[in-house]
Amino acid sequence: MGQKLAAYEPGAVPQKQGFIPLSVPEINGKAWEYVKECLDTNWVSSAGPFVDRFEQMCADYAGAEHATAIVNGTAALHTALLVAGVAPDDEVLVSTLTFIAPVNTIRYVGAWPVLVDAEPNHWQMDPQRVADFLDHKCTWDGNELRNKSTGRRVKCILPVHILGHPCDMDPLLAVGRKYNLTVIEDATESLGSEYKGRKCGHLADQGCYSFNGNKIITTGGGGMIVTDKAQWAEKAKYLSTQAKDDPIEYVHNEIGYNYRLTNIQAALGCAQMETFADTLAKKRAIAERYDAAFRDVPGISLMREAAWARSNFWMYTILIDQEAYGEDSRAVLWRLAKEDIQARPLWQPMHQSPACRTYQVLGGEVADRLHRDGLTLPCSAGLTVDDQTRVINAIRSRVR
Ligand SMILES: Cc1ncc(COP(=O)(O)O)c(C=O)c1O
């Protein structure tokens, strides 16, 4: 166990005056009114008008035909894999530089992750590594693709749009189509981000969002699957509501899950979607201010937005080159912590995670470097200019 930072959970109120948290929700608009409506009408559980409305709002926003509300992003990914027919002993290609949830959900269905390195420019799943692996390390009989080293069937690609920046989806979709693979986007961090003018989450067969406390909008906890496939949406709803085939006689033909979002959570989601354009604009303004402040700082590299991308700037992250900057990312993290500024390293890449060490990995060196040098800075939508200036000054104070 490493050193502990001050106890902090997403959505918690900072304990100390002057503390600048990494990312906390902004609850505004009609949130209070809508939640009160749930309480007043007794629609508090996993059905109700706000669930339907939130689903419709998310489908419309993504430009998708269907949306299924799910209890959280992890459960959404689990359900999406089940719906896609990913089965025990299948393999799923997934980003190695990610929060662990998507990788765990692959194991929930009994399948095996194949971890894919990030590309160095935008830090997302490297499409070239995916294509090289599928073209050269697998066999294709015109129907099934098998990993030569394990003999297992490759079934799915699960790119994670990390930190709000999209993966380069066209080459992933092309190679997915070539081998008849399902592509599921982990868009949990990228609601509002765009790839070539299209919304993340609606670029592949299914996309999953999260509305966890630290996400760009929050329902306390929550998730959503969007898809254009009516049958898949129907199946997602079926599996997430205990696979009830006869609601009167309680007949179940399959194993189901209690994965539905509650009306109260959905009420919060509706209110947050109504003000989402404003939230996105605030996140972009924060990123632009940081970019301008750090552009000339020796040893600091910025997360560049690709020409084909529009990021939601969910988590503003920089890379710190120890030699050029004079301090490594962890020293900066602890120096900021002493100044009551909460920062965070990038996740330990999955191929380094003790829970995942046995999984096959394609590359990994880029993710390792990003993990070593990456530092995420406070970027709540409600971050004040004064607080952001404090963060900027703390980072710039090293410049000689
Ligand atoms: C990349 C990624 N995938 C999945 C999840 C899981 O979402 P949830 O916390 O809503 O279960 C998260 C975040 O929490 C995430 O960052």
Closest CA to 286 of 207, 201, 216, 206: 216
- Residue 16 pLDDT level (bands cut at 50, 70, 90): confident
- CA 148 to chain CA centroid, Å, is 30
pLDDT per position as a tens digit, 74-116: 999 999 999 999 999 999 999 999 999 999 999 999 999 999 9
- Banded pLDDT at 285 (limits 50, 70, 90): very high
Q: Is 212 in the pocket of ligand 1 (CB under 6 A)?
A: yes
**What is the rounded average pLDDT of the residues 281-301?**
97
pTM: 0.96
Q: What is the pLDDT of residue 398?
A: 78
User: Given a cut of 70, is residue 352 above it in pLDDT?
Assistant: yes
- The whole-angstrom separation of Cα 103 and Cα 349 is 11
DSSP class per residue in 138-156: EEE-SS-EEETTT-PBEEE
- Residue of 100, 115, 163, 189 with the most ligand 1 atoms within 8 Å of its CB, for mutation: 189
- The closest residue, in CA terms, to atom 7 on ligand 1 is 73
The average confidence (pLDDT) of the chain is: 95
C-alpha 103 – ligand 1 centre gap (Å): 11
* pLDDT for 14 beyond 80: no
Burial of 289 (0-12, 13-18, 19+ CB in 10 A): middle
Residue nearest to atom 14 of ligand 1 (CA): 212
Helix 263-274 and helix 31-41: axis angle, to 10°? 150
Nearest CA to ligand 1 atom 16: 99
Mean pLDDT score, 52-71: 98
Other residues' Cβ atoms within 10 Å of the Cβ of residue 243: 15
Cα(73) to centroid(ligand 1), Å: 5
Residue holding tokens 């502990």? 4
* 123/1 Cα distance (integer angstroms): 27
What integer pLDDT is reported at residue 46 of this predicted model? 87
